[in-house]
A and B are shown apart, each in its own frame.
Chain A
Amino acid sequence: MKNEHTLQVNAIENGTVIDHIPAQQLFKVIKILGLDKIENQITFGTNLSSDKLGKKAIIKITGKQFEETETNKIALIAPNAKLNIINDYIVTEKRVVKVPAQVVGLAKCVNPKCITNNEEITTKFTVFQTNGSISLKCHYCEKITDQDHLKIIVD
Chain B
Amino acid sequence: MKNRSLVSITDYSKQEILYLLDLARKFENNPVSNLLSGRVIASLFFEPSTRTRLSFESAVQRMGGGIIGFSDSNSSSVTKGETLRDTIRTVTNYSDLIVMRHPLEGSAKFASEVSTVPVVNAGDGANQHPTQTMLDLYSIYKTQGTLDGLEIALVGDLKYGRTVHSLLMAMAMFDTRFHFISHPKLQMPDEYKIYLKEKNIHFTESAEFNKKVDSADIIYMTRVQRERFSDPIEYEKTKDTYVLRSNMLQSTKPSMRILHPLPRVNEIHIEVDNDPRAYYFEQALNGVFARQAIIATILGVDHLVK
B-contacting residues of A (Cβ < 8 Å)? 109, 111, 113-116, 118-121, 138-144
Which one of A113, A115, A139, A144 contacts B126 once the chains associate, using CB atoms below 8 Å? A113
Contact yes or no, B109 A119, CB < 8 A: no
A-contacting residues of B (Cβ < 8 Å)? 8, 83-85, 102-107, 109-110, 124-128, 191
A130 and chain B: residue at smallest CB distance: B194
Contact yes or no, A119 B125, CB < 8 A: no
Which one of B104, B128, B191 contacts A115 once the chains associate, using CB atoms below 8 Å? B104
Contact yes or no, B127 A141, CB < 8 A: yes
Q: How many A-B contacts at CB < 8 Å in the complex?
A: 51
- Residues on the B chain within 8 Å of A115, using CB: 84, 102, 104-107, 109-110, 124
Min C-beta distance of B110 to chain A, whole Å: 5
- Residues on the B chain within 8 Å of A114, using CB: 104-106
Contact yes or no, A113 B104, CB < 8 A: yes
Contact yes or no, A140 B106, CB < 8 A: yes
Given known A-B contacts A113-B125, A113-B126, A142 and B106 have beta carbons under 8 A apart: yes
Which one of B104, B107, B110, B127 contacts A142 once the chains associate, using CB atoms below 8 Å? B127
User: With the chains together, A122 CA to B128 CA distance in Å?
Assistant: 21
Contact yes or no, A120 B106, CB < 8 A: no
- Residues on the B chain within 8 Å of A113, using CB: 103-105, 125-126
Given known A-B contacts A139-B109, A140-B110, A119 and B103 have beta carbons under 8 A apart: no
Which one of A119, A140, A142, A143 contacts B83 once the chains associate, using CB atoms below 8 Å? A119
Query: Apart from A115-B106, A140-B107, A142-B8, what are 5 other A-B pairs with CB-CB below 8 Å?
Result: A114-B106, A115-B102, A116-B110, A120-B83, A142-B127
Query: Can you list 14 A-B pairs, Cβ within 8 angstroms, ordered by A?
Result: A113-B126, A114-B104, A115-B102, A115-B106, A115-B109, A115-B110, A116-B106, A116-B110, A140-B105, A140-B109, A141-B124, A142-B8, A142-B105, A142-B127
Contact yes or no, B109 A143, CB < 8 A: no
- Residues on the B chain within 8 Å of A144, using CB: 191
Min C-beta distance of A7 to chain B, whole Å: 48
- Residues on the B chain within 8 Å of A143, using CB: 105
B126 and chain A: residue at smallest CB distance: A113
- Greatest chain A CB density within 10 A among B84, B105, B125 is at B105
Contact yes or no, B105 A141, CB < 8 A: yes
Min C-beta distance of B144 to chain A, whole Å: 29
Contact yes or no, A121 B104, CB < 8 A: no
- Greatest chain B CB density within 10 A among A111, A119, A141, A144 is at A141
